[in-house]
């Protein structure tokens, strides 16, 4: 990352209420180098432009930064190349994250980043969520999912893994209100309910996002 890109990242994070340290920005720089290197061969993400990567991957991932309490145990469902897991871990080393995706090359990339940045309590797993060991069930404070599936599908997938107090955080695009309305009946049948929803705009792009929190009744 050049100076302008680092400034873009730092300014964008500041708009989200996050003051990135020099070492954290350096970690994002190392992440970027690896992402571009791997992406040139393995097509981990469709985004190629650095500005888009910073805004739509890094800053978008950080929009839930303030929703996660200290030491939270987090399940990232369908994490892809590690978003939101990796940006969150860079700025929130206290988080204990299990990152799950069914595409091996994306999990291998996450493992490389974890080694490179010295992550602890960060476990990338190549699996379908339904195939996770039963020992993972009922232990997560939060399950997060970014651009994975509709709310009802996510709720069905996440529920077995949530602790009694646990919540699903669905990171949605501009149709999030419609999704809430359409999912209400099925959520009720699952014993779940939307406990909170937030509208936000991504820094610089102004793209609309909805953060939807779902918990057990």
Alpha helices in 103-175 (DSSP H): 104-117, 151-158
Determine if residue 78 is labeled as part of a ligand binding site. Answer: yes
Cβ-Cβ contacts under 8 Å for 167 (sequence gap 6 or more) = 141, 142, 143, 195, 213, 214, 215
CA torsion 57-92-33-48 (nearest 10°) is 0
Q: Does 142 belong to an annotated binding site?
A: no
Q: In 3D, which of 64, 109, 66, 119 has the Cα closest to residue 89?
A: 119
Beta bridge partners, 140, equal: 162
**What is the bridge-based pairing of β-strands 140-146 and 162-172?**
parallel
Positive or negative, the CA dihedral 16, 19, 20, 22 is: positive
Q: Is 129 annotated as a binding residue?
A: yes
The answer to the question of whether 146 is labelled as a binding residue is yes
Q: Does 168 appear as a known binding residue?
A: no
Instruction: Tell me the binding residues.
Output: 78, 83, 129-130, 146
Instruction: Tell me the binding residues for S-adenosyl-L-methionine.
Output: 78, 83, 129-130, 146
């Amino acid at each position: 990352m050049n100076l302008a890109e680092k400034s873009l990242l730092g300014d964008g994070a500041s708009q989200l209420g996050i003051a990135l340290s020099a070492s954290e920005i350096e970690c994002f720089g190392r992440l970027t180098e690896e992402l571009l290197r791997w992406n040139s061969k393995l097509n981990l993400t469709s985004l190629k432009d650095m500005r888009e990567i910073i805004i739509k991957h890094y800053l978008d991932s950080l929009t839930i930064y303030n929703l996660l309490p200290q030491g939270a145990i987090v399940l990232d469902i369908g994490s892809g190349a590690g978003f939101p897991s990796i940006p969150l871990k860079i700025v929130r080393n206290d988080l204990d994250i299990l990152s799950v995706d069914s595409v091996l090359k994306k999990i291998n990339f996450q493992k490389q980043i974890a080694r490179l940045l010295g992550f602890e309590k960060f476990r990338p797993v190549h699996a379908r969520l339904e195939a996770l060991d039963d020992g993972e069930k009922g232990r997560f404070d939060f399950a997060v999912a970014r651009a994975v599936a509709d709310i009802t599908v996510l709720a069905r997938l996440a529920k077995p893994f949530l602790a009694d107090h646990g919540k699903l955080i669905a990171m949605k695009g501009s149709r999030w209100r419609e999704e809430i309305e359409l999912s209400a009946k099925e959520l009720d049948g699952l014993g779940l309910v939307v406990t909170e929803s937030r509208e936000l705009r991504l820094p610089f792009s102004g793209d609309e996002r909805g953060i939807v929190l779902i918990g057990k009744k």
